[in-house]
Chain A
């Protein structure tokens, strides 16, 4: 079974430029997450989708960040314009529906996109 796919793996841009990251979750996983991981830190949630609906975007800096998951499958995260402080690894994860009697399920992560803003 294919894992979570992310592209590109690396991106270097000048500040004030736009950038987009793409994620394709594991087939059949209805929940998709975008996380931000700074160097030496744990991942921090940016946004969570249930199918095509963004059910939690409270941590997404909406002045410059946007995301979409139009058909409830793959997703795009965009930054416009990028700032120096946006340099980090952007991780995508997916999870299936919780098992009966459970309200949580393990998340499977992609390899991430390492963004460098110069």
Chain B
């Protein structure tokens, strides 16, 4: 069975601090995809990144960076120099790369990030 665990329920930081959101996944598939979504207070899920299981290169996009490690089944997300606008719930998600359920997202429970000025 596929599963995504986000052990951190809530994190609170002060603006300009760096923060890492953890994501651990379980799957028996050899081909799979990992995602991060942001859900601000307005409620709409915003896509941040997609990674396939064959690409373990870390990625950096501005203040955001992602660390994918297959050896530990983790796909962690770091925000550098956090800002108040980063306050949101962040979801990690997993989908299979083949079969009838390919494309279906399995979400973690989310981590609520609060960035205080």
Contact = CB atoms under 8 A, between A and B. Distances in A.
Residue of A40, A48, A104, A107 ringed by the most chain B CB atoms within 10 A: A104
B52 A42 contact: no
Interface in A73-118: 89, 91, 93, 95, 102-112, 114
Contact of A112 (B43, B52, B93, B98): B43
Interface in A28-49: 31, 33, 35, 40-45, 48
Contacts of B8: none
A115 B104 CA distance: 23
Interface residues of B, number: 28
B89 to A, nearest CB: 9
Given A104-B52, A106-B47, A108-B47, A42 B103 contact: no
Contacts of A93: 45
A43 B105 contact: yes
Q: Say whether chain B's binding surface is mostly helix, strand, loop, or mixed.
A: loop
A31 B102 CA distance: 12
B97 A111 contact: no
A115 B109 CA distance: 20
B104 A48 contact: yes
A21 to B, nearest CB: 14
Query: What are the 10 closest A-B residue pairs judged by CB atoms, nearest first?
Result: A42-B107, A109-B45, A104-B33, A111-B44, A106-B47, A103-B97, A106-B50, A45-B104, A42-B91, A43-B107
